[in-house]
């Protein structure tokens, strides 16, 4: 299907294309920019272009590709770095240098590399989509090759294959490959959803003890500029006890992404050994890249995450920050002249976000395994104002909320998680799971919360009467909570204690509480001595 450009408005273009489908991918202009049909009208199609539209002219050709915006799934994604449209960044940079050219998709998977396939099914077997055809070793994991179509297997060979070479075929002639395409905006199916059964250990003491997460859960952390969102996301990306991490740098600074990659290349995976990068996929859509591709990037990322989930793996998706995605959505919506909602965001912002969060969870996979997809998204509310629409929409959908506090960050208390305002709806289940690692987890958590609460009440009084005006037990309480804040809740991401296993987390708090109890007992002893023995 061909047509020509009839109008251009920022990242959206209209063309006299008929017969195309909604969300069909198109190539726009002589440069072949990647775009997606976002609205159909009787004689024209409105296209969202994912690349810089500067220089594009009315009258240039538009070609429909006949397929939706696809993510290419197959072995070789781990350790990869892609842009929002899944183009491999190292290959793009090798081709174009630092100033990426528009158009001209590159295949995301290495076409020359050979993978050793061990088939699990024999000819004659019936196969359904999502069922395991065989496995190849990809870095530290057994990568399952999942069937893309239903049928009866006619041939399936073991041996070394490139991703493009046929590995077999179905009775109806359909060729089988190591890779398969999947439309980015459509959730990958599963047999059924399962309840959560395992904690997500982040190694951050404050999160694991006070606001714990579970595998398959979702969390957001809003915070103003400099409150430590990026550092916290990256610390969790390094240390969380998952098989695969998908990290989306969404509209943040490019140099932060470059540093992250260098670090991941050098760091070792604390759970399985090997380089951290071997289990990580990075999607970079930094602030210097086109805005519209940012909107697509989080869908590319979640599809990659679901693909590994479907192999029965524990996957964590991190995005920094979802606010930049929402801003891209707003920009596209306004160029489509849609009716604006709150603060100019489209009225469907909330439902889009909720549908996105829905893609997290624990599932029984089509292959019969059990996989999970957890999400941690940072939010950057302008001016740190949490009543703004993106934060509010995320709050309604997410299971945990870590409020990053500018006051704490200012005092260099990191991670700057406000312990009064934050919450986790997973606390009850998660405490049960953590108790397997430290039997007194629930008790420690309760006492910690109680002391923090008491201190909060006392601090107001202390501010009025001054510390000298307080009773001994109150002064002890302030001192003990001071230690909880400095030695337990703060955790420097650049030190040896950047990762704290649950046992160490429990031991740290246990020590402080024991000292506190000794202090209380000592004061009680003195008081008893004062009443029974009398003074001199
Ligand atoms: N956990 C941490 N440990 C030590 N320093 C931190 C920590 N979190 C944040 N910081 C400090 O705060 C600065 C800003 O953090 P960053 O994550 O870039 O903020 P944001 O992404 O919210 O703008 C960092 O450069 C670092 O100096
Ligand atoms: Mg940041």
Q: What is the pLDDT of residue 411?
A: 94
In a 10 Å sphere around its CB, with 0-12 CB exposed, 13-18 middle and 19+ buried, how is residue 19 labelled?
exposed
Is the beta carbon of 231 within 6 A of some atom in ligand 1? Answer: yes
Integer-rounded Cα radius of gyration of the chain: 27
* Rounded CA separation 319/325 (Å): 10
Q: Tell me, in angstroms, the distance from the centre of ligand 1 to residue 218's CA.
A: 22
Q: Whose CA is nearest to atom 11 of ligand 1?
A: 228
Phi-psi region of 354 (alpha: psi -120 to 50; beta: other; left: phi over 0): alpha
For residue 504, what are the contacts with CB-CB under 8 A and spacing of at least 6? Answer: none
Q: Quick one: how many helices (H) and strands (E) in the chain?
A: 13, 28
Q: Whose CA is nearest to atom 14 of ligand 1?
A: 226
Determine contact, residues 307/180, Cβ cutoff 8 Å. Answer: no
Is the beta carbon of 492 within 6 A of some atom in ligand 1? Answer: yes
* Rounded CA separation 308/71 (Å): 13
Paired with 375 in beta bridges are 218, 317
Q: Which residue reads 């890249």 in tokens?
A: 289
Stretch (H or E) spanning 34: strand 33-41
Which ranges in 344-440 belong to alpha helices (H)?
Answer: 349-357, 389-397, 406-410, 427-434
Q: Looking at the CA of 233, name the nearest ligand.
A: 1
In a 10 Å sphere around its CB, with 0-12 CB exposed, 13-18 middle and 19+ buried, how is residue 423 labelled?
middle
Q: What is the pLDDT of residue 98?
A: 61
Q: Tell me, in angstroms, the distance from the centre of ligand 1 to residue 371's CA.
A: 32
Q: What is the pLDDT of residue 1?
A: 74
- Tokens standing for 56? 């594009």
Q: Tell me, in angstroms, the distance from the centre of ligand 1 to residue 409's CA.
A: 8
Q: Looking at the CA of 252, name the nearest ligand.
A: 2
Q: What is the pLDDT of residue 278?
A: 87
Q: How far is CA 498 from CA 93, 273, 492, 494, in A?
A: 33, 17, 6, 6
Is the beta carbon of 380 within 6 A of some atom in ligand 1? Answer: no
* Rounded CA separation 424/403 (Å): 11
Is the beta carbon of 493 within 6 A of some atom in ligand 1? Answer: yes
Is the beta carbon of 415 within 6 A of some atom in ligand 1? Answer: yes
* Rounded CA separation 507/127 (Å): 51
Q: Select from 203, 227, 230, 231 the residue to mutate for testing ligand 1; criterion: most ligand atoms less than 8 Å from CB.
A: 231
CB atoms within 10 A of CB 226: 13
CB atoms within 10 A of CB 529: 11
Ligand 1 atom with the shortest distance to the CA of 224? 22
Q: Looking at the CA of 224, name the nearest ligand.
A: 1
Determine contact, residues 16/3, Cβ cutoff 8 Å. Answer: yes
Stretch (H or E) spanning 235: helix 229-239
CB atoms within 10 A of CB 183: 16
Is the beta carbon of 119 within 6 A of some atom in ligand 1? Answer: no
Q: Select from 203, 221, 222, 226 the residue to mutate for testing ligand 1; criterion: most ligand atoms less than 8 Å from CB.
A: 226
Q: Looking at the CA of 205, name the nearest ligand.
A: 1
Stretch (H or E) spanning 39: strand 33-41
* Rounded CA separation 369/354 (Å): 26
Q: Which residue reads 């709050």 in tokens?
A: 395
Is the beta carbon of 226 within 6 A of some atom in ligand 1? Answer: yes
Which ranges in 25-105 belong to alpha helices (H)?
Answer: 89-96
Give the pLDDT confidence of 229-278 residue by residue, as tens digits.
Answer: 989 998 999 899 999 999 998 877 777 777 777 777 777 887 777 778 88
Ligand 1 atom with the shortest distance to the CA of 256? 18
Q: How far is CA 194 from CA 155, 197, 203, 372, in A?
A: 34, 9, 25, 9
Q: Which residue reads 């994912």 in tokens?
A: 50
Q: Give every residue of the chain whose pLDDT is below 70, as ranges.
A: 93, 96-105, 287-289, 531-536
Classify the C-alpha dihedral 518-523-527-532 as positive or negative.
Answer: positive
Q: Tell me, in angstroms, the distance from the centre of ligand 2 to residue 155's CA.
A: 50
CB atoms within 10 A of CB 129: 15
* Rounded CA separation 205/207 (Å): 6
Q: What is the pLDDT of residue 532?
A: 63
Is the beta carbon of 223 within 6 A of some atom in ligand 1? Answer: yes
Determine contact, residues 283/261, Cβ cutoff 8 Å. Answer: no
Decide the pairing of beta strands 2-9 and 61-68: antiparallel
Q: Which domains does the chain have, with CATH numbers?
A: 2-68 (2.40.30.20), 114-178 (2.40.50.100), 192-424 (3.40.50.300), 441-532 (1.10.1140.10)
Determine contact, residues 283/246, Cβ cutoff 8 Å. Answer: yes
For residue 99, what are the contacts with CB-CB under 8 A and spacing of at least 6? Answer: none
Q: What is the pLDDT of residue 288?
A: 67
Determine contact, residues 230/256, Cβ cutoff 8 Å. Answer: yes
Q: What is the pLDDT of residue 99?
A: 60
Q: What is the pLDDT of residue 97?
A: 66
* Rounded CA separation 90/125 (Å): 40
Ligand 1 atom with the shortest distance to the CA of 231? 17
Omega prior to 415 cis, within 30 of 0:
yes
Q: What is the pLDDT of residue 214?
A: 96
Determine contact, residues 442/428, Cβ cutoff 8 Å. Answer: no
Largest CA distance in the chain: 103
Give the pLDDT confidence of 144-159 residue by residue, as tens digits.
Answer: 999 999 999 999 989 9
């Amino acid at each position: 299907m061909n047509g020509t450009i009839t109008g251009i408005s920022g990242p959206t273009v209209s063309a006299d294309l008929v017969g195309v489908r909604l969300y069909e991918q198109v190539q726009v202009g002589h440069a072949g920019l990647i775009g997606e049909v976002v609205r159909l009208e009787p004689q024209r199609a409105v296209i969202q272009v994912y690349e810089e539209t500067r220089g594009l002219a009315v009258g240039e050709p538009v070609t429909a590709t006949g397929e939706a915006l696809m993510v290419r799934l197959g072995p070789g994604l781990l350790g990869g770095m892609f842009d929002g449209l899944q183009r491999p960044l190292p290959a793009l940079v090798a081709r174009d240098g630092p100033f990426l050219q528009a158009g001209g998709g590159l295949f995301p998977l290495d076409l020359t590399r050979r993978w050793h396939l061990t088939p699990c099914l024999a000819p004659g077997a019936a196969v359904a989509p999502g069922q395991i055809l065989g496995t190849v070793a990809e870095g530290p994991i057994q990568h399952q090759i999942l069937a893309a179509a239903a049928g009866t297997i006619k041939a399936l060979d073991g041996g070394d294959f490139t991703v493009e070479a046929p590995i077999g075929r179905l009775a109806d002639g359909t060729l089988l490959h190591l890779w398969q395409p999947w439309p980015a905006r459509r959730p990958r199916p599963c047999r059924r959803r399962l309840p959560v059964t395992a904690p997500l250990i982040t190694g951050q003491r404050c999160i694991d003890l006070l606001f714990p997460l579970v595998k398959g859960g979702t969390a957001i952390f809003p915070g103003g500029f400099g409150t430590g969102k990026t550092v916290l996301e990256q610390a969790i990306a390094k240390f969380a006890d998952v098989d695969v991490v998908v990290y989306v740098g969404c509209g943040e600074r490019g140099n932060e992404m470059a540093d992250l990659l260098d670090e991941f290349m050098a760091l070792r995976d604390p759970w399985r050994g090997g380089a951290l990068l071997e289990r990580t996929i990075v999607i970079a859509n930094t602030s210097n890249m086109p805005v519209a591709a940012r909107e697509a990037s989080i869908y590319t990322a979640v599809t990659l995450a679901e693909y590994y989930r479907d192999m029965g793996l524990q996957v964590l998706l991190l995005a920094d920050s979802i606010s930049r995605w929402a801003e891209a959505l707003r920009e596209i919506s306004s160029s489509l002249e849609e009716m604006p909602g709150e603060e100019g965001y489209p009225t469907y912002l909330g439902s889009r976000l909720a549908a996105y969060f829905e893609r997290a969870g624990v599932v029984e996979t089509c292959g019969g395994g059990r996989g999970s997809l957890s999400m941690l998204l940072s939010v950057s509310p302008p001016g740190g104002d949490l009543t703004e629409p993106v934060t509010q929409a995320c709050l309604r959908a997410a299971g945990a909320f870590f409020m990053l506090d500018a006051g704490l960050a200012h005092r260099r208390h990191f991670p700057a998680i406000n312990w009064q305002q934050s919450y986790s709806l997973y606390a009850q289940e998660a405490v049960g799971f953590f108790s397997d690692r430290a039997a007194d987890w629930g008790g420690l958590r309760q006492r910690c919360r109680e002391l923090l609460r008491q201190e909060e009440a006392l601090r107001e009084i202390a501010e009025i009467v001054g510390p000298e005006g307080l009773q001994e037990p109150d002064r002890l309480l302030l001192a003990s909570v001071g230690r909880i804040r400095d030695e337990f809740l703060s955790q420097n991401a650049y030190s040896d204690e950047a990762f704290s296993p649950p046992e160490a987390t429990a031991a740290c708090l246990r020590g402080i509480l024991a000292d506190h109890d000794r202090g209380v007992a000592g004061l009680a002893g003195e008081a008893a001595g004062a009443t029974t023995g009398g003074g001199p």
